[in-house]
Chains A and B, each alone.
Chain A
Amino acid sequence: MTFTDTERRRAEELVARYPHSKSALLPLLHMAQDRDGYVTTDAMEDIADLLGLTPALVLGTCSFYTMFKREPIGKLVVSVCTNVSCLVNGGPALVEALRTKYADDHDVHVEEVECIAACDQAPVMQVNYEFHGPVTSESATDLIEQYKSGALKARTISGSPT
């Protein structure tokens, strides 16, 4: 999918905020991921075109950052922290339980992440970058199910408001 005219105008506005256009690269990648659910090759080519960069350079930057997904991962990204404060408060068991539970669910992508700066609520989980903690595997599953059904409103895969 490539930029529509409206999207291109929004992208140009974003670029204009920066003294140097290349600085808009991360915001543009977020914008593309908000729209498509992941960063498509077409989107990277479009962004390259807009910023006057090579697609390889855009990919080079994109692939460095863990929030950018380069293949479809479903509707929900569930990030579970296992860094030290979560480690001693049940983080590893939580990520294992959720991985098992959602192994065959294409809408839910469970990933183990590094400290997400909410250690006073260990163990912590984010669903599309909304914080929840402390959670048990039961309360975490319950929350994920509520996001799936729409009872809780999820942000985009990049964490932008919808």
Chain B
Amino acid sequence: MAAQETRVVTKFLRERTDDSWTFDAARTHNKAYSALEKAMGMEPAALIDEVTKSGLRGRGGAGFGTGQKWSFLPKDVFPRYLAVNADEGEPATFKDHMLIEKDPHQIVEGSIITSYAIQAHHAFIYLRGEFALGADRLQAAVDDAYANGFLGKNILGSGYDLDLIVHRGAGCYIAGDETGLLSSLEGERAMPRIKPPFPAVQGLYAAPTIVNNVETMSTVPHIVREGGEWYAGMGVNKSTGTRIFSVSGNVERPGNYEIELGVTFRELIDDLAGGVSGGKKLGFFIPGGASSPWLRAEHLDEPLDMDRAAELGTMLGSGAIMVFDETIDPVLVAWRIAKFFAHESCGKCTPCREGSGWLEKVLYRMANGLGRPDDLDLLMGFGNTISPGVTWPPGMTTICQLGPSTMSPTLSLNKYWGEEIRARLAKDADRRTTLQVASA
């Protein structure tokens, strides 16, 4: 039987496509804020337990246990803050964009519950600047939540106060890294900070801060309403629950699909996304955003399981699956991703700042038939300075994960097409010589 979606966080927005983002529709037809009403009758510690029990792991990229992260807050240190990561910038990821535009109340409700659980009185949603409609809808949702007593002073008569601010970014991938986000929220360049201290200990304004992704926040109301055990009953191994995957590239039906973790890549790509477009064969696919190392046809029957992905030397990252048909040159794709990282490197750490630029330049000439015989080895060589060993999980010489991520495409080229590419480079070199002679 063909695989199906299991809709939890996307159920409502798929059902009510005309007005799912409005307060009235969400409240009347989706029990919006009923989980908050339940949560306010619970102890904060009990909420953290429930989320821990659910096994929910962050949906932003790193896949860290959500309840576990919350429990890292140092006892009795206040104020504390919540920063919701709505900066979605990982190439080919477009799930948060949908959640923001189509179901902002679910995010706001999850953010209020989380703030209460961690006892924060100020929360921020750091929204990607380019999401203009998203900004309108999220702000309208926050305004409605204030107007209905779900935000502000003495929420639902509980004595608990919370202010929630929608903060627009201004175009910058690195603001999606949690510490870059905090720098940006403080009015600085979005430069990442060294960890430790982790944000949960010293984050925004040096106070304990929880940073969580939009999809993570959207899941929290469901866990509160239905219970952690219910959520943990879905999924596979330590990848519990459902997750939204953004599938794009050369596929028949690109889009967001919410599936129970454990479904295979083949089921997701073929059954749900309609397979490779135009009936072509699969060339390769990238399983977790541009930062993740690539997979090929031999991996199609592997399950979408975060720990299994790690065993395969990659990650499910941001849940973005890019599919390429057999006619697409992997070197071209590697160059374009390198160009992305070269543009987005914040410039703080030398290996990443310099290395990302060199990767882009060398991959450009390789993609354009002007490579030099040892170009792939050159890349693998200086890649060692960016990420020692050039492997995954990666070695680090930089403050944040952007540095080693720049090596994922090259690492994949070398692993799957090493011989082929070296042969191609030898031919390029012959042609270069002819060209030079011809033009001399």
Contact = CB atoms under 8 A, between A and B. Distances in A.
B92 A30 contact: no
A126 B254 contact: no
A61 B189 contact: yes
A20 B205 contact: yes
B42 interface: no
Given A118-B97, A155-B132, A84 B290 contact: yes
B336 A26 contact: no
Indicate the member of B89, B94, B344 with the most A CB atoms within 10 Å: B94
Contacts, number: 146
A30 B171 CA distance: 11
A67 B170 contact: yes
Contact of B128 (A68, A83, A117): A117
Nearest to B88: A117
B129 A159 contact: yes
Contacts of B346: 64
B406 interface: no
A22 B79 CA distance: 18
A115 B170 contact: no
Given A26-B170, A65-B172, A130-B132, A114 B88 contact: no
Interface stretch (B49-57, B161-169, B260-268, B303-311): B161-169
A65 B129 contact: yes
A66, A67, A82, A119: which has the most chain B beta carbons within 10 Å? Answer: A119
B425 to A, nearest CB: 22
A23 B248 contact: no
A139 to B, nearest CB: 18
Interface residues of A, number: 47
A131 B134 CA distance: 11
A18 B126 CA distance: 13
Interface residues of B, number: 58
B343 interface: yes
A158 B133 CA distance: 12
Given A85-B248, A85-B322, A120-B254, A66 B89 contact: no
A161 B92 contact: no
Interface in A139-162: 155, 158-161
B331 to A, nearest CB: 13
A11 interface: no
A87 B322 CA distance: 12
A83 B247 CA distance: 14
Given A22-B187, A64-B190, A87-B333, A116 B324 contact: no
Contacts of B79: 19
A2 B425 CA distance: 58
A94 to B, nearest CB: 15
B336 A83 contact: yes
Interface in A1-29: 17-20, 22-27, 29
A103 B165 CA distance: 40
A130 B136 CA distance: 12
Contacts of B129: 30, 65, 67, 158-159
Interface in A104-151: 114-122, 126, 128-131
A67 B173 CA distance: 12
Nearest to B173: A114
Interface in A63-95: 64-68, 79, 82-85, 87-89
A87 B336 contact: yes
A159 B328 CA distance: 35
Interface of A: 17-20, 22-27, 29-30, 51, 60-61, 64-68, 79, 82-85, 87-89, 114-122, 126, 128-131, 155, 158-161
Interface of B: 79, 88-94, 96-97, 122, 128-133, 135-136, 163, 165, 167-173, 184-190, 205, 246-250, 254-256, 286, 290, 320, 322, 324, 328, 332-333, 336-337, 340, 343-344, 346
The 6 closest A-B pairs by CB, nearest first: A25-B187, A65-B170, A159-B132, A66-B171, A67-B171, A129-B132
7 contacts: A20-B205, A23-B185, A25-B187, A26-B184, A88-B249, A118-B94, A161-B132
